[in-house]
Amino acid sequence: MNLARQALILQAWPTRRFMENTSGEMAWLTRRDGSVVIGHGPFEASSTAPTEGVAFYVQNFALEDQFPWKIPARTERTCTGGFPAGFHKIPAPDCHWQSLDAAAFSIVFQEVMSAIQGGIFEKTVPVVTECGKSTQMPGPAIMAAMSRQVTPLQSYGWILQDAGFAGATPELLFSLDGRKLETMALAGTARSEDQDVFAVDEKEIREHEYVAQTLVSKFLDLGKLKRHPREILNLGSIVHFLTLIQAQLHADMTPEDLIHRLHPTPALGPLPRTDGTMERLIEWRNRLDCPAEFGAPFGLWENGRFDSIVAIRGIWWNGQNLRIPAGCGIIEASRLVNEWRELRLKREAVKRFLNLPF
């Protein structure tokens, strides 16, 4: 056996060993405290959460799946860094990315601005998707890279054989434990080196306040509410505005009740949120080749506790084909060149998870 062939086999060994220990179906979510629940298939799909045990909530952005609860055949619990032996040794995939043409986004941007000026929207969030191809099956390498991310990022993933999606999101949709509820407004983005000017940028502050105030209004009738001061969340290469919101509910609520009330927040959805504005946003997302699950709730139910993140900052794959979606919040003060730059920053942040070239 020549040396090149031997090196290729040794490089592939961690991937083969990991896949041999799974059914080809897997899901996981890292909670904010660093604990991880991993589910192994085959999964049973259900319209409701089980009364006991573990289920993952896997849904698309339009909430169209009638059986979103995926109940694993077996589960394991660990902490960040505690994935199966050999998992972290899987090397980054060799990927080749297609050049993005701004023309399609420019057309959508102008349509969004016309709708805002016409009073249909105050804010909405179109999505641009960068496509690429890996020279090998990328799933295990993507899972390994995402599982290495730590707080304040929450790693998540859903894999069915040679297709799936995985990411490390900074955005909690909500956490529900009994009647204790926690959520957040996360909106406004800049490079870390621009943090000082970002802190006083009126456009970014206005975009964030749209999200925070809308979330607060959705909870006013549900219980005792506490809104924390706006702060800056530094994720290394980029920064966001963050506002934590907590509530003590007056009555029990199901995860589905809260998902339909909260999703999509104005950080990923339209404001105002109506059937018409949602249909318009989904049409723009489809035109720009956005994966159906991007920005959707992804959750974990375990014995009465439910944690749900917003599925952003991830990679979608099918075979060797890859997609990295990113969204940008557009308001009346938005400018095309600035939004295009923000979309690139978000995609580059995902590539950094995998140590991929830009």
Going by C-alpha positions, the residue among 281, 265, 278 that lies closest to residue 213 is 265
What is the predicted pLDDT for the residue at 158? 97
Report whether 54 contacts 71 (CB < 8 A). Answer: yes
Residue 50 has pLDDT above 60, yes or no: yes
Residue 303 is given by DSSP the state: T
Residue range 155-159: average pLDDT?
96
Average pLDDT of the chain?
90
> What does the block give as tokens for 182?
């926690």
* Contact by Cβ (8 Å): 32, 46: no
* Tokens standing for residue 304: 């009465």
pLDDT at 82 over 50: yes
| pLDDT single digits (tens) 224-233 | 999 999 999 9
Whether 140 maps to a domain, the answer reads yes
Separation CA 111–CA 72 (nearest Å): 43
**Is 1 inside any structural domain?**
no
Percent of the chain with pLDDT over 70: 90
pTM of the model: 0.90
User: How does pLDDT run across 105-134, given as a tens digit for each residue?
Assistant: 999 999 999 999 999 999 999 999 999 999
Q: Are strands 172-177 and 180-191 parallel, antiparallel or unpaired?
A: antiparallel
Residue 174, domain member (yes or no)? yes
**For position 355, what pLDDT does the model report?**
78
Cβ(347)–Cβ(324) below 8 Å: yes
- Report how many domains make up the chain: 1
Q: Is the pLDDT of residue 88 over 90?
A: no
CATH number of the structural domain spanning residue 129: 3.60.120.10
- The confidence band for 268, taking pLDDT boundaries of 50, 70 and 90, is very high
Domain residue limits at 338:
23-81+94-354
Measured CA to CA in angstroms, residue 104 lies from 78, 130, 289 at distances of 43, 12, 11
Residue type, 176: L
User: Considering the domain boundaries, does residue 302 fall inside one?
Assistant: yes
Mind listing the pLDDT tens digit for each residue in 177-218?
999 999 999 999 999 999 999 999 999 999 999 999 999 999
The first and second tokens of residue 143, run together, are 């899972």
- Paired with 78 in beta bridges are 36
Residues 67, 315: Cα–Cα separation, whole Å:
23
Question: Domain for residue 88, yes or no?
Answer: no
Q: Label residue 310 by pLDDT band (50, 70, 90).
A: very high
Note whether residue 293 is domain-resident. Answer: yes
Q: Judge whether 156 lies within some domain.
A: yes
User: Is 36 contained in some domain?
Assistant: yes
